[in-house]
Structure 1
Amino acid sequence: MRKESSTNLENETLINANCGIAYAINLIGGRWKVPVMARLMRGTMRYNELRKDLPMVSERILILQLREMEKDGLISRKVYPEVPPKVEYSLTTLGLSLGPVFDYLSEWGEKNRPD
């Protein structure tokens, strides 16, 4: 958490307001956001499916990343009133619009990754 009046937050806000690349990177930045979104590109997934598919991420970090993506409008969260609770995540239209970007970045990464 940063203070609302911090210089760091002011600088980030200014940069994001004036640079589309910085805004996009800020939105999808974070070690686990892209892997989560890549899995959701295939369709809706329950929380436990995401946990099984990404065993390296801690539960705390996965929840934080999911909350950030939901707040930013990249994913939607649907809770079913059941016991135990059933929660499903899916990409929003905004999240789905990143598909071609991810495809291009993946191709670029494969082509330029050191051996």
Structure 2
Amino acid sequence: MEKQTMANREINMHEEMRRAFALLSGKWKLEIMWLLNQRIYRFGELRKAIPGITQHMLTAQLRELEADGLVSRTVFAEVPLRVEYEITEKARGLGPTMEALTAWWTKYGRSVPAKPGARGRKPKGS
């Protein structure tokens, strides 16, 4: 594995990348981040935009992303209560990665076999 030395401290890049992957691992996190990279969403909008995700799972994934400093949650003292989610400046640093993945998919996506069945629960009305 590649190791780098910074100020007399050896860094194992494999371990560091494992930590980075862990931030975005999870069934829905990348999809949530991709959507929030586009614009600010309310909870219900996110749920509708991600077919098959449950309310419980969306809540759990958003909480983890917020705890890791990748998503911010703003609560507006209104009736009814309004909550908005957006990516943080730290998460905006992933923008080039998202753009690279989009470019890769545009070029190679048609060559990837479609998998049968959607993930998670079926949306209502299906």
TM-score bin, normalised by smaller chain: 0.7 to 0.9
Q: Is 1:64 aligned to 2:60, yes or no?
A: yes
Q: Deviations over 1:16-52 (max 9, x none)?
A: 9862321111000011111111111111111111011
Q: Which runs of 5+ in 1 are unaligned?
A: 1-15
One-letter amino acid matched to 2:78: E
Q: If the length of structure 1 is used for normalisation, what is the TM-score?
A: 0.76
Q: Hey, what's the Cα distance between the residues in 1 that align with 2:27 and 2:105?
A: 16
Q: 1:85 to 1:70 in 2, by over 3 A?
A: same
In the alignment, what sits opposite 1:22? Answer: 18
One-letter amino acid matched to 2:18: A
In the alignment, what sits opposite 1:37? Answer: 33
Of Structure 1 and Structure 2, which has the larger fraction of its residues in strand?
2
Q: Hey, what's the Cα distance between the residues in 1 that align with 2:85 and 2:77?
A: 15
Q: Hey, what's the Cα distance between the residues in 1 that align with 2:24 and 2:103?
A: 18
Q: Hey, what's the Cα distance between the residues in 1 that align with 2:33 and 2:73?
A: 13
1:89 alignment partner, SS class: strand
> 1:1-115 maps to which residues of 2 (within 5 A)?
19-109=15-105, 111=108, 114-115=112-113
Identity of aligned residues (%): 38
Q: Hey, what's the Cα distance between the residues in 2 that align with 1:63 and 1:104?
A: 28
Of Structure 1 and Structure 2, which has the larger fraction of its residues in helix?
1
2:38 alignment partner, SS class: coil
RMSD: 2.0
After the TM superposition, which segments of 4 or more aligned residues of structure 1 sit over 6 Å from their partners? none
